[in-house]
């Protein structure tokens, strides 16, 4: 541990899950900021946090804070992260990093100018089973990777007032759920060379289901499905010429997977043993990068986060989803 002191910006459900895992891992959480003192006080009492601030501005200027976790709804990610960076704080920004590539590039520029870490909280990439999967692929055990498939499908709500169905709040299945399989596909196959997307839009204009087919270097293909209206298997598979990896439900959380040879023989079975939800691993990675005076790591460089936002922009351009006050999307 590097002894970094964490501040939590916003007090919603994901902030509770993250802070609980920070406490499980023994990391130092010293401050929380909310738009109301009551909310900040309640959060601070729940997690035994010494400083509770009634504004984000007070949090980012707290001298006892080194790094801030930004957990607002994603249309507010850019402003929260920018505020923290401009006040000299490193940031771990909840996924998706921003709502589009242009916003991500702005944060990338500010972080570079100030020599600060800006990192996307794509926590699934840092889980132990994902680390092991990358080791297996690097060893050549699967041969040439030819296909990747993954879904993130949940039956959440069709309430038009819910943030998931509100374009003003960055709603839609893609940015909230589809970011997981899209980032996973990038992790395994890299940048897509072609993208085809289709969707079913809700009455509010937000995407309720989104499916993608993408091609990658060497002709590899990927498919993804995201939905906020129907629960699917939430599994993933990586298919190579010499074998495959089947990742069980829920693939982007601590789970099990099998390595299966082309002849059907099970070569390895992996079972996750993780305390809590598993969000602490990304925080530990962020602390290590700061300690090593690095501005980005190998698991998810900021440059890749920015490029993934570009992929999401292209998907939204194809399905016709644009957020209020957003500039025209450049795919």
pTM: 0.96
Distance CA 82, CA 90 (A): 10
Could you tell me which residue, 328 or 280, shows the higher pLDDT?
A: 280
Residue 299: name the closest of 69, 140, 133 by CA: 133
For 180, phi then psi, to 5°, come to: -65, -60
> What is the rounded average pLDDT of the residues 294-322?
97
Task: Give the tokens for residue 181.
Answer: 């399989």
Average pLDDT of the residues of the chain: 96
The whole-number average pLDDT for the span 187-213 is 97
Q: Exposed, middle or buried: residue 265 (CB in 10 Å: 0-12, 13-18, 19+)?
A: exposed
> What is residue 331's predicted lDDT score, i.e. its pLDDT?
43
As a whole number, mean pLDDT of residues 290-303 equals: 96
Instruction: State the burial class of residue 135 (Cβ atoms within 10 Å of its Cβ: 0-12, 13-18, 19+).
Output: exposed
Better-predicted residue by pLDDT, 55 or 161: 55
Instruction: Name the token pair of 43.
Output: 């959060």
Residue 1: pLDDT over 60: no
Tokens read off for 283: 């925080």
Checking if the pLDDT of 330 tops 70, the result is no
- pLDDT, one tens digit per residue, over 264-289 is 999 999 999 999 999 999 999 999 99
When pLDDT is cut at 50, 70 and 90, the band that residue 37 belongs to is: very high
Where does the pLDDT of residue 293 fall: very low under 50, low under 70, confident under 90, or very high at 90 and above? very high
Tokens of 77: 């990610």
Please tell me the distance from the alpha carbon of residue 330 to that of residue 326, in angstroms, as a whole number. Answer: 11
Question: Could you write out the DSSP letters of every residue in 246-265?
Answer: EEPSSTTSS-EEEEEETTS-
Contact 323, 172 (CB under 8 A): no
Please give the pLDDT value at position 146: 98
Asked if 169 and 73 touch (Cβ cutoff 8 Å), the reply is: yes
Over residues 176-197, mean pLDDT = 98
Q: What is the pLDDT of residues 226-246, one digit of tens each?
A: 999 999 999 999 999 999 999
Q: 275: Cβ–Cβ under 8 A, 6 or more apart, which residues?
A: 24, 25
User: Span 306-311, mean pLDDT?
Assistant: 98
Give the pLDDT score at 328. 61
Average pLDDT for residues 106-110, to the nearest whole number?
98
């Amino acid at each position: 541990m590097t002894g970094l002191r964490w501040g939590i910006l916003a007090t919603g459900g994901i902030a509770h899950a993250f802070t609980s895992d920070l406490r499980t891992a023994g990391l130092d959480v010293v401050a929380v900021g909310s738009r109301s003192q009551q909310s900040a006080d309640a959060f601070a009492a729940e997690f035994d946090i010494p400083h509770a601030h009634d504004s984000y501005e007070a949090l980012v200027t707290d001298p006892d804070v080194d790094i801030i976790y930004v957990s607002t709804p994603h249309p507010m990610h850019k402003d929260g992260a920018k505020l923290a960076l401009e006040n000299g704080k490193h940031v771990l920004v909840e996924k998706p990093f921003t709502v589009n590539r242009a916003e991500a590039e702005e944060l990338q520029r500010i972080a570079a100018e100030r020599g600060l870490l800006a990192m996307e909280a794509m926590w699934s990439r840092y889980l132990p089973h994902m680390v092991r999967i990358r080791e297996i692929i690097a060893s050549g055990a699967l041969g040439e990777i030819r296909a990747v498939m993954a879904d993130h499908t949940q039956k959440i709500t069709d309430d038009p007032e819910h943030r998931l169905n509100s374009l003003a709040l960055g709603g839609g299945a893609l940015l909230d759920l589809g970011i997981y399989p899209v980032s996973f596909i990038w992790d395994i196959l890299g940048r897509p060379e072609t993208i085809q997307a289709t969707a079913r839009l809700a009455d509010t204009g937000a995407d309720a289901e989104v499916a993608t087919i993408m091609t990658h270097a060497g002709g590899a293909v990927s498919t993804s499905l995201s939905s906020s209206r129907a629960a699917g298997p939430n599994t993933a598979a990586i298919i190579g010429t010499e074998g495959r990896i089947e990742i069980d439900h829920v693939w982007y959380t601590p789970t099990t997977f099998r390595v299966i040879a082309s002849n059907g023989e099970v070569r390895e079975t992996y079972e996750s043993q993780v305390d809590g939800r598993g969000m602490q691993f990304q925080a530990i990675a962020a602390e290590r990068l700061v300690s090593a005076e690095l501005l980005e790591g190998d698991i998810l460089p900021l440059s890749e986060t920015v490029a993934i936002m570009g992929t999401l922009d292209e998907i939204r351009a194809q399905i016709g989803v644009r957020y209020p006050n957003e500039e025209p999307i450049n795919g």
